Amino acid sequence: MIRQAATALGAISAALAPVSLTGLDALDVAYRAAIAAAVIHVGCHARRLPWIAGGFMIGIVSSGVSLALSLFALMVFIASAFPKRRPRHTGAAGVALMVNAAFWLPPTTHPVAPYLAFGAFVTVMVSGFRWMPSSQRQVTKWTAASLGAFLVLAAIGTGVATALASVAVKSGASSAESALDYARDGDGESATTSLNSSADHFGRAQDLMDGWLTLGARAVPGIAQQRDAVSTVIQSGLDVTAAGSDLAQSADYDKLRFEGAIDLAHVSALQEPAARATAALGDADAKIQDVLNARLAPPLRSRVLQLSAEITEAKKESALASELLGVVPGLFGGEGERRYLVVFLASAEIRGSGGMIGSYAELIANNGEVDLSRSGNIAELIDAAEPGTRTITGPQDFLERYGRFEPQDFLQDITLSPDFPTVAKVLAELYPQSGGNPIDGVISADPRGLSALLSLTGPVDVEGLNYQLTATNAVDFLTRDIYTQFPTDRVQDPIQTAAIKATFEALVKASLPSPRALSQTMSPASRGGHLRAWSQRSKEQEVFESLGADGEIRLEPGSDALAVVQQNAGNNKLDAYLKRDMTYAVKINPRTGELAATLKVVARNEIPTLNLPDAVVANQRGAPRGTNISWFSFLTPHDVKTATIDGRELKMGRSTERGLHAWDTPFVRIPPGGEVTIEIELRGKVAAGDQYRLRLMPQPRPFGDTFQVTHSTTSKASSKQVLIDQGAATHTTEVAIGPFNS
């Protein structure tokens, strides 16, 4: 009587457990009760050692309610070891507790837990079967054989259906990848054809998984989850391809191509299907994450993880495209005329944002048409107002750090700040005070940024230059050759201005390249800081941030941040020959977040000869020709403990910029062919835990720097993740990051 009561109570308790065996609620309740009753009925006859072994197998992976049940089961099993005869009613009570400990395992349990629970059930049932009365053993044998045959048939049917469906899914995925390639190349018709083909393949796969071959699998614990996982993946593929096909059919890329104009009505028409595609990818991502939370066989889990990564990446691309489509009409004058100030940064004379301002241009956008309304050398804007008549109202940290350089009169030095939104706001305030019109945004380009634009336009003729300016020769010409071939400002300035004018005139008339070509050309330039954009409107600025074109200096809560900024103090062009190698070694206490870091900067003056024009190698500080004279600023949330230059003590001043400490050196002189080494010990704090995040904000330079980050912890185990955000690009690794090229 006690044994029957233990069996009934164990079955009822198991029926109420939250664990899912097939995904069908009513069937799961029946399954849990039946399995519990069967294990208790057979297992109560087992020997003592299998009882204890089964209890331990479940106990080592249990927690919470499950742990309490497994401990009680072990207590019952151990107590049963003392009587000479093992009482069946005691065994029934212990096995009932053990079975429920397995069914009440929390969902966050280690992935091996279901296999240990199954092993525990088998252990007590095999032993119990041997000691059951012969009449009960015969019934149990036939019942087990019938269930086994059903399981084998269900597994075979599901295996065949899955194998056939996998072929169709592989073909569907291949067609979807081809569609994406066609879309990136701007071939909407081929993209639509490939997406329709992909949908056909996924449809066949879905028919197979819903067909008669998998009927039995839907009622088999374990196999049902695998079948449902495959079906979910297939349905996600169908949803994504349907949304993609809708977008591809709506998007006639040829209508976006322009000869000086963009069809803004067509752009607006793309917004809704693009939003649907993004939503479909988001839904697919969520469904696949749910699948990954279930118990999957390792081979299937591996394939689903791969698909999840691909969909996550596609979702990011689609979301960015939707954001971009939402702001393009406004940016191109669809909601009223827009004016943009374009500034060219001469990076041979380095400033915080990359270089001093050498030339400018003004663009007007109206109803999709873009025109270059004016252009000139920065001297024109400087001379447009008397010294002392222009005013800057902010930002406050810009005035405090750079006001002493009188940027309101020397507009070329507004780029002393490494924070481009700050630079753009100051330019937007000063440009109307310098003969210009009120502007809606600012664009900056350095020689490498201009080279990227020339990749889109093709070569251009430049007045005063006897050869064409191309994407290949632009960086060298605008950084070095212009100053050696044309030694005086009187000749340099008009040619530089003509180069900017020719490039932007060609750009506004050029045909829009394919999305792939546009991304491959513009993304590296914007993320490297060589092309930057700022808008007066917050929604548009958020898109520039997503594109990595904002150039903002900022500190994320709990993160580390670093910017190494160098400013030319010699009024020459020697930064075209400057080489910098930097390392940042970080050690963190993951328990407290306390940080100790060493920053090392090696700057080399690689000027090849002193036989160059004065504009390149002379200086106004009385130093020998070819001496690079500059000062460094280190923007960090941390305090400086010690600082040295070439092994000698280095005293630095401290101020604040964009919420970070700005540690400034005195003037540093690097002789021709020489180098200096600055080493700084930093102390500070980041968020405690197993993740370290660093926002690295490189100073744009045409020939790049190398930057290497190494990471360690005070404990033996390294932190699980190191995330480095370089502009908007995030890199993940276990131990070290680098080197990076800016």
Terminal Cα distance for the chain, rounded: 79
Residues sharing a CB contact under 8 Å with residue 546, sequence separation 6 or more, in sequence order: 320, 323, 728
Sheet strands (E) in 378-535: 441-445, 531-535
Strand 648-649, strand 639-645: pairing:
antiparallel
686, pLDDT greater than 80: yes
Tokens of 210: 């819903």
Give 89-115 pLDDT, tens digit per residue: 778 888 888 888 888 888 766 777 888
Would you place residue 267 in the very low, low, confident or very high pLDDT band (cuts 50, 70, 90)? confident
Give 120-178 pLDDT, tens digit per residue: 888 888 888 887 877 677 776 776 667 667 667 767 777 777 777 777 777 777 777 77
342, pLDDT greater than 60: yes
Average pLDDT over residues 546-572: 93
Give 195-247 pLDDT, tens digit per residue: 677 777 777 777 777 777 776 666 666 666 666 777 777 677 667 676 666 66
Would you place residue 723 in the very low, low, confident or very high pLDDT band (cuts 50, 70, 90)? low
Strand 706-713, strand 578-588: pairing:
parallel
Instruction: Check: CB of residue 615 under 8 Å from CB of residue 492.
Output: yes
Instruction: Check: CB of residue 430 under 8 Å from CB of residue 512.
Output: no
* Cα-to-chain-centroid distance, residue 639: 29
Give 457-513 pLDDT, tens digit per residue: 899 999 989 999 999 999 999 999 999 998 788 888 899 999 999 999 888 887 766
Closest listed residue to residue 600, CA positions, set 680, 689, 531 = 680
Would you place residue 435 in the very low, low, confident or very high pLDDT band (cuts 50, 70, 90)? very high
pLDDT of residue 631: 97
d(Cα 233, Cα 6) in Å, to the nearest integer?
Answer: 42
d(Cα 434, Cα 410) in Å, to the nearest integer?
Answer: 11
Sheet strands (E) in 471-621: 531-535, 560-568, 578-588, 594-605
d(Cα 68, Cα 51) in Å, to the nearest integer?
Answer: 17
User: What is the residue extent of each domain of the chain?
Assistant: 2-132, 148-331, 338-546, 560-741
Residues sharing a CB contact under 8 Å with residue 253, sequence separation 6 or more, in sequence order: 186, 187, 188, 514
Instruction: Check: CB of residue 496 under 8 Å from CB of residue 474.
Output: no
pLDDT of residue 302: 67
CA-to-CA dists, residue 508 to 265, 443, 450, 503, 696, angstroms: 19, 14, 14, 9, 33
The answer as to CATH 1.10.3470 being correct for domain 560-741 is no
d(Cα 281, Cα 187) in Å, to the nearest integer?
Answer: 21
Q: Measured on CA atoms in the order 203, 208, 211, 215, is the torsion positive or negative?
A: negative
Instruction: Check: CB of residue 239 under 8 Å from CB of residue 288.
Output: no
pLDDT of residue 569: 96
**Which residue did the predictor score with more confidence, 473 or 293?**
473
Residues sharing a CB contact under 8 Å with residue 156, sequence separation 6 or more, in sequence order: none
To the question of pTM greater than 0.85 for the whole model, the response is no
Torsion of CA 469, 475, 481, 483, to 10 degrees: 110
Torsion of CA 223, 228, 234, 239, to 10 degrees: 180
Give 357-400 pLDDT, tens digit per residue: 999 999 999 998 889 999 999 999 999 999 999 999 999 999 99
Would you place residue 76 in the very low, low, confident or very high pLDDT band (cuts 50, 70, 90)? confident
644, pLDDT greater than 80: yes
Give the angle subtended at the CA of 520 by the CAs of 286 and 370, to the nearest 5°: 105
Tokens of 254: 């040829």
Would you place residue 733 in the very low, low, confident or very high pLDDT band (cuts 50, 70, 90)? very low
Would you place residue 16 in the very low, low, confident or very high pLDDT band (cuts 50, 70, 90)? confident
**SS3 at position 7:** helix
Closest listed residue to residue 665, CA positions, set 684, 646, 683 = 646
